[in-house]
Structures are given as structure tokens and as C-alpha cells.
Structure 1
Amino acid sequence: MNNVQHSFAYDMPHGIGAAFALAVSEAWRFAGQTAPNPPVGCVLLDAQGVVLVIAAHHRAGEWHAERLAVEQARALGVVDRIHTAVVTLEPCNHTGRTPPCTEALLSTPVQTIWVGCADPNTHVQGGGGAHLQAAGRDVRWLARSANGAEALAQCRALIAPFASKVAKGRPWITVKQALDSRGSMIPPAGRTTFTTPASLRFAHALRRVTDGVITATGTVRADRPGLGVRHVEDHPARRRLLVICGQETNTPADWLDSAQQRFDVRFCPDCTDLAPLLAGTDALWLLVEAGPTLLAALRAQGLWDDWLTIRHDTDGQDHLSVMTRHDTTPLSLFAEWAHCTQEHVCFPVS
């Protein structure tokens, strides 16, 4: 039974909105290393709204955000002051690799739990909230808050890849395409890119928050790309998925040997088999970095969720445009998104 729906709405106090911003920001720090779990943030406050603890889920197998927050509060000696919990995703009410987060919260004197998004799994959606309510706690949902739209949008963007995996059985797919002012994807002779340093940092930040890359043998042969995270600090010892569309025999052996030392490499000889191949992985969010042939195939299949185009214009600046097939996108959590024009069409990178 879905317990998220209520017959009334309520106002979200200003301090709760600020706490959600902190929770999302902390969870975003670990995006790209939590799969198959979603990134989740939790903030604990006292009765006066003072922040006691900010925590997030770091990686699968480790404590979820709520339990980590509670344990940190215990270590700090402030657990008895906990009055309100703010969580970006509904606390789980089942035992997996770790115990239920609902029990972690109920081990404290917490009175009110603000929940960003309901669990996207319809089989358990609302169960965590119902359990907390049955234990006498006041559970409040951003979806029913009269003034919580901005915080809810951030929480939904944070779990969009996870929700995609739950609903579609495949990861969220972001296509990244760089073009010069003439619409060509080919860099000038002697160069591997024609975009600005700021765009390059943004591209590597995007690699950091995703769980791997989809490319093609043609791109491998032409560019011999590294596909690793540079220009920004990566998650320690992160090993990602690398899906190569095409035949292994068409891949340079020395490049493949190097790639297999850093990635879990899968080959997909036929692009029509890509979706089921991806469904069998733990990845939540993948980045496509390839040439026009693979991009055309993905477009024909509708096998993408958002399409990021970096266009280097004649004025020497890069202008980024985003097409998305959804009403939310995890790309909106990047700072660059603040410059996006109406309908999330474009934002400039200087």
C-alpha cells in the first residue's frame, strides 16, 4: 500500500529546506560510487533546528545515510538531542547488506522525519514511512509540502538514475557530444579536443558521478581514449564499467589490455542487445562517449535519457545544450545548470 498520499498539505519550515540542500549536497559527493544503491543524504537536527550531523551513503555494503548519521551522532554524544531527521529518500524497512534504516532512526528520540522521495520500488513504496508512523513518529513528505518543490526536484534528480533502473531495468544513459562551430565532432589535427578547459573539467566531473562509459570500437581505434577521470578528484580506487559496442577483434590489443586493468570491460557486438546487457550490470548511470555511428544507433532506438551537447562557437566560448526525455535529470545537480535557459535548453561554460 502506498502511504505517501495524504489528504492535506503542510508548509516546510525554512530550516528544513536548508537541511535538504545540505543532505543533497553531501549525497552528491558520493554519486558515482554507491551503485547498485542510490546516493542518499541525511541531516539530523535538534529541537531548535540546529544541525547535529550531516551524512550520506558512501558505497554499497556500508551503512546507509540514516544509520551513518545516527552512529556519528552517538560518537559525538548528541544522539539524545535528535529531534528531526531530513532524508532525501524514504528510509528502507528491510534487511539487506545492512539493517533497516527505520530501526536506526527509531533507536533515537527523533520526533519528525522529513522524506524527500518515496522509494521508487512500488512493492515497498511507503513502507518505511508507514513503519515510522506506526511507531508514533511524524512523517512528512516533500511531495505534500506546499513550498517544497525546489527541494523535491533536487531529491528526484539525485535518485533519477536509480529510479530508472528500478522502472526500466537499465541504467540512466547520458550522451555527451562535443561539436565545433560547424557541427563537426572531429578535433583539429594534432588535438584530441576543441573545447575549453572549463568544459573539459565539466566532462571529467560527469565521468566521476557516473558508473561507467559506453563507447564503440571505431572511437577506440580512432582516438585510443583513456576514458578515466582527470582534472577533478575521483573516488578512491573506483573501478567502473566500460561497454564497447562492436567486435573485440576490432579493438587494439594493447589498448584493451590497458583498459581491462582499469575497467570492467564488456563487448556488445550488436547495439540492439545493449539494453539487456546493461540491465545485467550494477550500473545506475552511464555516459556515452562515442562517434556519430553509435550516437545515431542510440537515437534510433531511443536508448538515451539526456543528451548533452558541448558546442565550441566562433567566439571561443563553449555553449552546452541539454535535451532530456524526462521531467528531471541528474545533470541539474551540477553547478553549471544554474545558467541553463528556459526548458533546460542550454547553459554556457566560460
Structure 2
Amino acid sequence: MGALNDLTSSSLPDGVIADAFARAIAVATDYAGATSPNPPVGCVLLDAAGNSLAVEAHRKAGDLHAEARAIAACRAAGTIDRIHTVVVTLEPCNHHGRTPPCAEAILSTPAREVWIAETDPNPRVEGGGAVRLAAAGLSVRFLSELDHPDRARLASEAERVIAPFAKWVTTGLPFVTIKQALDETGSMIPPAGQRTFTSETSLTLAHRMRRRADAILTGNGTILADNPEFTVRRIPDHPGKSRILAILDRTGRVPADYLTAAAQRGLRPMLFADIDDALTRLGSEGVHEVLVEAGPTLTAAILSTDIWDEHVAIKKAGDGGPDHITISRNHIKKG
């Protein structure tokens, strides 16, 4: 999408905008998993010299959106009159929901330029915010136009942040991420007496992935073999977050006491006969991203289909070095 009301003479240097996009994407990523049914969004406000005035994110549904929170921060700091450029990971909304439109919040400031990483994938509102801002005389530009060596990387990161919401809002289904830990031979089975063989760094990554997910999907074999907790432990979890634990259990083998204990840990266990039913139900529950943490059989079965979106393979190095992490993407649907 090209620039709207492109006032290039007033633009800040591309390096300044790239740095602002990086910070906006980072803060949005911090809140991935906390905002459903809304998307995670990050916003950076800059003055005419390119100085950062505020860096904020949408933190949870019903709370201020990223742009409104950043503007409120400037108002509290007495710097609202210095706002010149708005850098945001997702097109500002232009409709009334649980909070007022962000486009109108931006127009209440002296901002003259808005940079957007991703257009809104919601088919009911696409284009509204950018068009509204341009119609009011602001220069509206997009990350795809940025002349900077980091543009492709930033675009990929911004797309990944919004991908679960984009898939859910356009298909009604969750974004499916598969986490797979492998030893140096390619086996998923830990040595006798151990529950894992990956490094501390990889274990922390696994908990970050769990933190951003709205649901965990596993099979009854994993439950019976490992009695897993499926909680976020190595990093702080989102306050008040309650994830669905979707268990494929066609034969009814999962013990009732495991389900009770999972609920006591803050999970919402649900049993399903097959994965298609599970994904349909999870989508109806507002799940944006489901993390598959399962054994070799179920993992291979899902990877053999077209229902997964991202596969994160963590492989232990045979030479004792750091684990090898490979991320594959099947498809990211944006509508």
C-alpha cells in the first residue's frame, strides 16, 4: 500500500523510523498473548527532532489501545504538544468498540505523520484508520516504503506479531504453532530419568512461546507419560491469564484427577476427539494462537497436514554447543 498524503519533506530520517518500528514491535511482542480478542499493538511517539516521547502497547482487552496509551503518557508528562510522528505496528482503528477510535485520538494531537507496519486485517474495518488520518491532512506512510536495510526484517517481525489475530479474524481458526524439541539424533524422547534435554536458553524460549499462546494442545499420551504442568514458570506470566488446555483424548484415558489439578493451576482443560473439532472450538472461544506441545506421533501427524502455521524445532547440538533453533512457516494468512 502506498503513502497517503505523502509529505516527504517533513519526514524524519529512515533510520529514526526504523528504530522506532523496532521498539514498537518489541513492546507489542511483550504483550502477545495478553490482548485477546484484540491484537497486540505497539506504538512509539516522536517529536520533530526524532526524540522518543512515549513507547506503549495495548496491554489487555478493554484497556487503552497502544496509541491512546502513548498519547496519555505524553499528556501526563506535559509533552503532548511535541508529538510530531506516530509509529505503530498496526493501522489505527477508526471504529468505536470498548474504547474510542485511535484515529481520533491521534487527530487530537499535533501529529503530522503516521507510519504503519501492518494494515488492519479485519475485513470489517480495513483501510478505515489510514484513510481517516489522510483525509484530515496527515501524511500516512507504511513500513513497506521505508528505505532502510532492516525493512524486510522489521516487516517480517511485524507480520508475525499480528499473524495469530489476522488468521483468527479472517478464518475463525487459531494460528497453530508447533514446538518440537529434538536430541542430536532427531529423537523427541528424553533419556531415562530426564524430562528434557534442551538448554536453559531453549527452555526459557519454550516458556515464552507458552506465554504468548491462548491455548496449549496436546495428546493423552503426553499426559499419561509425563504428567506435564503446562504452566509458564521461567518468566513472569501475563497477570490473570487463563489458557485452555486442549487434550486429544478419543479413548477417554486422561484421569479426572489430572483435569482437576490442571484447573487448579489456572488452566481450562477441554477434551476433544480430533484436532479439527479442537481447532474449531478453540477459534469460537477467541483463541488466537494455540501451541502444540505433544509427543512424536501427534506432532508428526499435525506436521503432515496443512493446518499448522509455524514449526519451531529446537535441536540439541551433538558437540555440546548451543541448541539449533529452526523456525519454519507454513502459511501466514492475512485475508
- How does the TM-score come out when normalised to structure 2? 0.91
Q: Is the 8 A contact 1:16 1:86 kept in 2?
A: yes
Match of 1:337 in 2: none
**Of residues 303, 309, 313 in structure 1, which corresponds to 2:307?**
303
1:89 & 1:15 partners in 2: Cα distance? 18
**Of residues 298, 320, 327 in structure 2, which corresponds to 1:322?**
327
Q: Is the 8 A contact 2:89 2:116 kept in 1?
A: yes
Q: CA deviation at 1:204?
A: 1.1
Helix, strand or coil: the match of 2:216? Answer: strand
Match of 1:249 in 2: 252
Match of 2:294 in 1: 290
Q: Is the 8 A contact 1:142 1:149 kept in 2?
A: no
Match of 1:340 in 2: none
Matched, 1:230 2:240: no
Match of 1:155 in 2: 158
Alignment deviations for residues 303-329 of structure 1 (CA, whole Å, 9 cap, x no partner) = 21111222224323422222221379x
Match of 1:97 in 2: 98
Matched, 1:273 2:277: yes
Structure 1: gaps spanning 5 or more residues: 329-350
Q: Is the 8 A contact 2:163 2:332 kept in 1?
A: no
1:249 & 1:325 partners in 2: Cα distance? 31
Structure 2: gaps spanning 5 or more residues: none
Residue type matched to 1:241 in 2?
I
The farther-off stretch of 223-232 and 304-313 is 304-313
Q: CA deviation at 1:7?
A: 9.5
Q: CA deviation at 1:122?
A: 3.3
2:332 & 2:251 partners in 1: Cα distance? 37
1:180 & 1:144 partners in 2: Cα distance? 42
Alignment CA distance shift 1:260-1:42 (3 Å):
same
Alignment deviations for residues 263-309 of structure 1 (CA, whole Å, 9 cap, x no partner) = 12221112332331222121211110011232233234322111122
Q: Is the 8 A contact 1:305 1:326 kept in 2?
A: yes
Alignment deviations for residues 45-96 of structure 1 (CA, whole Å, 9 cap, x no partner) = 1111111111100011101001111111111111111111111100000011
Q: Is the 8 A contact 2:3 2:141 kept in 1?
A: no
Alignment CA distance shift 1:245-1:72 (3 Å):
same
The farther-off stretch of 240-249 and 226-235 is 240-249
Matched, 1:211 2:214: yes
Match of 1:260 in 2: 263
Equivalent residue pairs, number: 325
1:228 & 1:21 partners in 2: Cα distance? 29
Matched, 1:196 2:199: yes
Match of 1:132 in 2: 133
Q: Is the 8 A contact 1:271 1:297 kept in 2?
A: no
The farther-off stretch of 33-42 and 139-148 is 139-148
Q: CA deviation at 1:106?
A: 0.8
Identity of aligned residues (%): 46
Alignment deviations for residues 202-249 of structure 1 (CA, whole Å, 9 cap, x no partner) = 111211122221011111011100011112222223211211111483
Residue type matched to 2:324 in 1?
H
Alignment CA distance shift 1:151-1:292 (3 Å):
closer
Helix, strand or coil: the match of 2:313? Answer: strand
Q: Is the 8 A contact 2:4 2:140 kept in 1?
A: no
- How does the TM-score come out when normalised to structure 1? 0.87
Matched, 1:240 2:243: yes
The farther-off stretch of 25-34 and 248-257 is 248-257
1:23 & 1:283 partners in 2: Cα distance? 23
Q: CA deviation at 1:124?
A: 2.0
Residue type matched to 1:73 in 2?
C
Q: CA deviation at 1:161?
A: 1.3
